[in-house]
Amino acid sequence: MTDHIETIQGATVQHGPKSGRVFMKELGQADPARLIPKLAELAVRNNYPKVFVKVPASESRTFYRSDYRKEAAIPDFYDGEEDAVFLSNLSGSLPREEPGQNQLDEIMITAREYQNSGLAHPLPQGAVIRKCCGEDVPAMARMYRMLLPAYPFAVHDIDYLLQSMADESHYYRVEIRNEPVALAAAVVDTETGSAEMTHFVTHPDWRKNGLSARLIQTMENAMRHFDIQTVYAMARASSAGINIAFARLGYSYGGRLINKTRISGHTESMNVWHRNLQFTPS
Above 80 in pLDDT, residue 282? no
Look up the CATH number of the domain holding residue 20: 3.40.630.30
CA distance 192 to 190: 6
Above 60 in pLDDT, residue 94? no
In a domain, 95, yes or no: no
Indicate the residue among 59, 90, 121 that finishes a domain: 90
Do 148 and 206 lie in a common domain? yes
Do 12 and 120 lie in a common domain? no
Question: Residue 145: its pLDDT value, please?
Answer: 96
In a domain, 23, yes or no: yes
Do 71 and 109 lie in a common domain? no
Q: Please state the rounded mean pLDDT for residues 177-198.
A: 96
Q: Which amino acid is at 80?
A: G
Q: How many domains does the chain have?
A: 2
- Domain range for 50 is 4-90
Question: Residue 61: its pLDDT value, please?
Answer: 97
Indicate the residue among 36, 71, 90 that finishes a domain: 90
In a domain, 96, yes or no: no
Residue 97's pLDDT band (cuts 50, 70, 90) = low
Do 129 and 244 lie in a common domain? yes
Do 273 and 137 lie in a common domain? yes
Above 80 in pLDDT, residue 16? yes
Do 15 and 122 lie in a common domain? no
In a domain, 251, yes or no: yes
Do 200 and 108 lie in a common domain? yes
How far is the CA of 261 from the CAs of 7, 155, 200, 274, in angstroms?
A: 20, 16, 15, 19
Question: Residue 98: its pLDDT value, please?
Answer: 67
Above 70 in pLDDT, residue 43? yes
Residue 230's pLDDT band (cuts 50, 70, 90) = very high
Question: Residue 131: its pLDDT value, please?
Answer: 98
**pLDDT tens-digit profile of 248-275?**
999 999 999 999 988 877 789 999 999 9
In a domain, 170, yes or no: yes
How far is the CA of 119 from the CAs of 21, 212, 220, 234, in angstroms?
A: 35, 10, 14, 20
Indicate the residue among 90, 118, 136 that finishes a domain: 90
In a domain, 48, yes or no: yes
Question: Residue 27: its pLDDT value, please?
Answer: 96
Do 48 and 118 lie in a common domain? no
CA distance 258 to 142: 30
Question: Residue 117: its pLDDT value, please?
Answer: 96
Strand partners, 52: 23, 88
Instruction: Identify the weakest region by mean pLDDT among 27-36, 83-92, 105-114, 119-128.
Output: 83-92
Q: What is the mean pLDDT of the chain?
A: 93
CA distance 158 to 138: 6
Do 162 and 216 lie in a common domain? yes
